[in-house]
Structures are given as C-alpha cells and as structure tokens.
C-alpha cells in the first residue's frame, strides 16, 4: 500500500509543485499593483503535503507584499465523511494560505457567487506579527501556535520552514511577465513600435542588430512578443503573446536584415485613454525591449 501511495504521489507531486509556482508567479504580478491587494483562489484543491518549503515560500511572498490570500473550495457541500476527509487534504494549502495572510477560507458551500462576494470583502480584524528565530536555519519545518488572553479563536500561520533560501532563478516566462507588468523601459533590441488608432500595433525589429545562432547553414533565433492593453490607471484590459521561431536561409536572413522583422497585433477598443505595453525578447543573448505608449481613441 505504501509503495502504491508513493507511486501516485510521484505522479502528482510535479503538478502540485507547478500549481504553487504559478500561484507565486501571480503574487509577483499582483505585487506590482497599487493599493490593497487580495488573491482569490477558486479550486477543488490539490495535495500539497511534502512541499513545505514551497508552501512556506508562497506564504512569505504574500506576507512581504502585503497581499491577502482568500480561497473558495469549489467542491461545494461534502456529502459524506470520506469526501470531507478528501476535501481537508486537498484544501490544506488554501486553508493555510488564508490563515497565514489574514484571508478567509470557505468550504462546504454551494453558493459560489455569494462566497466569492464575501471573499472579496476585506477581513475586518487582521494583524501582522513577526519574530526573529533564535536558532540558525536547520532546513526543518517549525510549527507555530498563537494564543490570545481573551480565549477568542485565532487563525494564524501553522508554521514556517527554517532555511536560508537559495535565490530561486527567474524563469524566462517569469521575466517576460514581470517586465510586462512593470513600467520599466528597456532598449536592448533596436525596435520601432507604431500604434495607430484602429487599434493596430506595428512592430519592426532591426535584424541587423540581433545575434543569430548558426546551424547546418541556417540562422536560428526565437523572438517573443507580448502586447498588453492597459487602461489610463495601468490596469490590464487585454493582452496577447506570440512566439516566432526563425530558421533562415542566407538569402532570407539578408532580406530581413534589409527590411526588418515585422509583426502586427490588433485590438478592438471603445473610445478612451489607454496605454499599450510592448515587451520583446530575443533568445540567443536574452535581450529585451520594453516600452509603454499612450493611446487616445476619440
């Protein structure tokens, strides 16, 4: 039985780890937004036991960014004890993340609309407490227990993973997403960006100033284009991402070096004030261009 459980966990562990990574990535994006932020998780849950270091890092990221995490278990009402036990296991991360960040966790409720409205309201009584451990990191999980003199029920973080975390390298997609969500300007790739009122975004990359990899007589390169439409306050309205993989003959490369690499993206927007955020990445030298262009549609 133990061998079977180990085999099943080996299958689902990468999926669970990936889910936590995506939630952490969402926190990084949300951390760029101004004001009070709440991350709402709507999910039937997933097994997170054995991933203490990842879940602890997720809680840390939310607390440091002052982001409240609230969760709704989409399984609804438990019909029997077996399902209730299953929901408890699958909902462990959602429950702990809510208790750790001052959020709410709702389960055993079929009224999803009302539950989401409740989760969107800020918690009226939430406090941020901290302490410095007196012992050096030991790569172990340490449980925490919080009590108040009044005897009232308190929800708090169940514990922390005591380790000096190694810097987690940012993935390529995370770097692209972070740049897209920021206001940072980069011009590592010579690029012309023209925004017309239709709305059409025409992009021309100067192929003479980007490096290609040579293989079997062809020039290889990969360009990623991310185009976001933001409102006047910087909130995301629409977005598109595309990847162009080049394997060029000498003649085709010479043609692109003369004319440039052209890409076009279009959106349909009502009259108003907007910002167009463009991020371009080339793969050989990992260079980026990132620009924000204001747009007014009369």
Check whether residue 225 and residue 86 sit in a common domain.
Answer: no
250: helix, coil or strand?
helix
The answer to whether position 70 is within a domain reads yes
Q: Residue 140: is its pLDDT beyond 60?
A: yes
Helices (H), the chain: 2-30, 52-64, 81-90, 92-101, 112-120, 172-181, 250-259
For residues 66 and 34, is the Cβ–Cβ distance under 8 A? no
Check whether residue 177 and residue 155 sit in a common domain.
Answer: no
Check residue 82 and give its pLDDT.
63
Beta strands 67-73; 37-43: pairing state: parallel
From residue 293, give the alpha-carbon distance in Å to each of 37, 46, 195, 201. Answer: 26, 41, 8, 10
Check whether residue 193 and residue 243 sit in a common domain.
Answer: yes
More confident residue, 138 or 93: 93
Q: What would the pLDDT profile of 74-129 be if each residue is shown by its tens digit?
A: 887 777 666 667 777 788 889 888 888 888 888 888 888 888 888 877 665 666 67
> Residue 102 and residue 124: Cα distance in Å, rounded?
9
Domain range spanning residue 284?
A: 172-297
Check whether residue 146 and residue 183 sit in a common domain.
Answer: no
Check whether residue 152 and residue 193 sit in a common domain.
Answer: no
Check whether residue 248 and residue 288 sit in a common domain.
Answer: yes
Check residue 74 and give its pLDDT.
86
Among 122-131, 153-162, 239-248, 279-288, where is mean pLDDT lowest? 122-131
Which of 162, 195, 218 is a domain's end point? 162
Q: Residue 239: is its pLDDT beyond 80?
A: yes
Domain count, the chain: 2
pLDDT-above-90 percentage for the chain: 35
**What is the arithmetic mean of pLDDT over 243-250?**
94
> Residue 115 and residue 283: Cα distance in Å, rounded?
44
**64: its two tokens:** 């440091």
DSSP 8-state secondary structure symbol assigned to residue 108? S
More confident residue, 282 or 146: 282
> Residue 61 and residue 25: Cα distance in Å, rounded?
10
Check residue 276 and give its pLDDT.
95
Which of 122, 144, 162 is a domain's end point? 162
> Residue 138 and residue 42: Cα distance in Å, rounded?
34
Check whether residue 23 and residue 122 sit in a common domain.
Answer: yes
Check whether residue 280 and residue 142 sit in a common domain.
Answer: no
Mean pLDDT across the chain: 84
User: In what side-by-side order are the strands of the sheet with 261-266?
Assistant: 191-196, 200-205, 261-266
The answer to whether position 167 is within a domain reads no
Nearest to 185, CA basis, from 278, 275, 294: 278
> Residue 206 and residue 223: Cα distance in Å, rounded?
12
Q: What is the 3-state secondary structure (H, E, C) of 139-202?
A: CEEEECCCCCCCCCCCCCCCEEEECCCCCCCCCHHHHHHHHHHCCCCEECCCEEEEEECCCEEE
Check whether residue 138 and residue 226 sit in a common domain.
Answer: no
**Confidence band (pLDDT; 50, 70, 90) for 266?**
very high
The answer to whether position 4 is within a domain reads no
Check whether residue 181 and residue 267 sit in a common domain.
Answer: yes
Report field, pTM of the whole predicted structure over 0.75: no
204: phi then psi, degrees, rounded to nearest 5: -130, 115
Q: Residue 7: is its pLDDT beyond 70?
A: no
Cis preceding linkage at 174, omega within 30: no
What letters, b where the CB count within 10 A reaches 16 and e where it falls short, cover 66-96? ebbbbbbbebbebeeeeeeeebeebbbbbbb
More confident residue, 123 or 268: 268
Check whether residue 127 and residue 266 sit in a common domain.
Answer: no
**Confidence band (pLDDT; 50, 70, 90) for 162?**
confident
Q: What would the pLDDT profile of 168-226 be if each residue is shown by its tens digit?
A: 567 788 888 888 888 889 999 999 999 987 789 999 999 999 999 999 999 999 999 99
| C-beta pairs of 149-156 under 8 Å, 24+ apart in sequence | 155/98, 155/99, 156/99, 156/100, 156/129
65: helix, coil or strand?
coil
């Amino acid at each position: 039985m133990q061998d079977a459980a180990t085999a099943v966990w080996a299958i689902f562990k990468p999926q669970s780890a990936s889910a936590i990574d995506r939630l952490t990535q969402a926190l990084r994006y949300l951390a760029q937004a101004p004001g009070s932020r709440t991350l709402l998780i709507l999910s039937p849950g997933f097994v997170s036991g054995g991933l203490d270091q990842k879940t602890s890092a997720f809680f840390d990221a939310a607390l440091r960014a002052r982001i409240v995490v609230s969760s709704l278990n989409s399984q609804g009402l438990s019909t029997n004890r077996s399902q209730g036990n299953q929901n408890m296991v699958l909902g462990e991360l959602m429950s702990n993340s809510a208790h750790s960040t001052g959020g709410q966790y709702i389960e055993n409720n079929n009224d999803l609309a009302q539950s989401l409205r409740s989760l969107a309201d800020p918690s009226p009584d939430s406090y941020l407490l901290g302490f410095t451990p007196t012992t050096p990191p030991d790569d172990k999980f340490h449980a925490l227990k919080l009590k108040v003199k009044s005897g009232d029920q308190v929800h708090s973080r169940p514990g922390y993973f005591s380790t000096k975390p190694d810097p987690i390298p940012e993935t390529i997609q995370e770097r692209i997403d972070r740049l897209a969500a920021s206001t940072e300007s980069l011009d590592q790739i010579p690029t012309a960006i023209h925004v017309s009122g239709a709305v059409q975004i025409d992009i021309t990359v100067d192929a003479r100033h980007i490096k290609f990899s040579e293989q079997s007589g062809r020039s290889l390169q990969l360009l990623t284009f991310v185009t976001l439409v933001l409102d006047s306050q910087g909130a995301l309205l629409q977005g598109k991402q595309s990847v162009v993989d080049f394997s060029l003959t000498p003649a085709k490369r010479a043609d692109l070096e003369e004319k440039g690499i052209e890409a076009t993206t279009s959106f349909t927007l009502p009259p108003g004030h907007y910002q167009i955020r463009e991020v371009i990445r080339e793969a050989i030298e990992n260079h980026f261009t990132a620009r924000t262009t204001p747009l007014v549609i009369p």
